[in-house]
Chains A and B, each alone.
Chain A
């Protein structure tokens, strides 16, 4: 069974601090996506990583796909209160259209 474990589960930090969120699996994924979900809303896609070792940057957010395509990380530099939300990683199950979602990291950035 393909599972995506995220850590930490909860994170509360001060504005301006840096943080890293991890997404790990024992299975290989052809691609991984990161979503952010705000309260009362659906998840919104942030990025898709496809190639092992790939690094993508989205302003203060840096995403990395592991060389073996079994893990990914999201690093936020100088966190802002607007970064608060639930961060989810997701990947296609065994190359199908069925996406499985990670357990989620709930981030709170305090002013």
Chain B
């Protein structure tokens, strides 16, 4: 399997622009997570989907952030409008089924490094 695929790997944009990050989870995995990693705050969970349904988006920082999962093989994280403080590495992770227990393995993608100027 190719693992979790994220695109783009790097994104540089100007403040105010819309940014869309994409994720393809591992085939057969029912749970999908979006994380953000910064030096100051470490790795933070933004939103969690199970069977394409958003279960918990309490980690989404503001209304400028939105995430969708239209089908089992694709998810997007959108920031509109983007701000310099959104600069971070955004990771997507998938797991077989988190409802089975909290020791399931999360497989992370390579991340998207976002820079907002």
Contact = CB atoms under 8 A, between A and B. Distances in A.
A43 interface: yes
A41 B43 CA distance: 13
Counting contact residues on chain B (CB < 8 A from A), the size range is: 20 to 34
Interface string B27-53: 000010000000000111100101000
Contacts, number: 54
Given A92-B102, A96-B102, A41 B111 contact: yes
Contact of A98 (B42, B45, B93, B103): B45
B103 A50 contact: yes
B103 A48 contact: yes
B106 A45 contact: yes
Contacts of A33: 103
A98 B91 CA distance: 15
Given A42-B93, A102-B42, A104-B42, A30 B109 contact: no
A78 interface: no
A88 interface: yes
Given A88-B43, A97-B55, A98-B56, A42 B110 contact: yes
A41 B102 contact: no
Interface in B46-93: 48, 50, 55-56, 59, 91, 93
Contacts of B103: 31, 33, 48, 50
B105 A42 contact: no
Nearest to B91: A42
B115 to A, nearest CB: 15
Interface of B: 4, 31, 42-45, 48, 50, 55-56, 59, 91, 93, 98-99, 102-103, 105-111
19 contacts: A30-B102, A31-B102, A31-B103, A33-B103, A40-B110, A42-B4, A42-B93, A43-B91, A45-B106, A45-B107, A48-B103, A95-B102, A97-B31, A97-B50, A97-B55, A98-B59, A101-B42, A101-B44, A102-B42
